[in-house]
Amino acid sequence: METSSTTLSGINQDSKYYKRKIEVLGLKENIKIYENSDVKLNRLDNYCEEKKINKIDLLKIDTEGHEYQVMEGSIKIINKDNPDIIFEINEQSFDMCINFLKQYKYHFYFLDEINKKFEKVDKFQNNLLRPEGSNCVATVNEI
């Protein structure tokens, strides 16, 4: 199973994900469906300071394998507010996210949307992946 997207990183036109996206969108495989652009990056900590956002209760992160980098840019918020965090499960960054958040006393739960339950997790496992995507709930509270 291939779960990585090509949205924020280099485009791999040979990936199953890319080919599936072409098929779902009804596009021809030989046309260019993307363009490279320079984008301004901003840490969530900085953004909240600039916008005078004083507290974050819930943070949802789905950045196609870059969840860890978002968390790194949210250190002040995580340290101050201990928000509940819902983030995408993928091979690239899941274990890094868990190891990062453990230092803030977070607990981790696989959000099993099919069986409508939470399952405690502590590392990446292939059985957590779903074709439609899957998420982890990180919280300082026990569920």
Per-residue pLDDT for 29 more than 90? no
Identify each DSSP E strand in 7-140 by its residue range.
58-61, 84-88, 107-112, 117-120, 135-139
- Look at the block and give the residue holding tokens 């953004």: 47
The model's pTM: 0.77
What pLDDT, in 10s, does the model give residues 70-129? Answer: 999 999 999 999 999 999 998 888 999 999 999 999 999 999 888 899 999 999 988 898
- Identify the residue with better confidence: 40 or 35: 40
What pLDDT was estimated at residue 91? 84
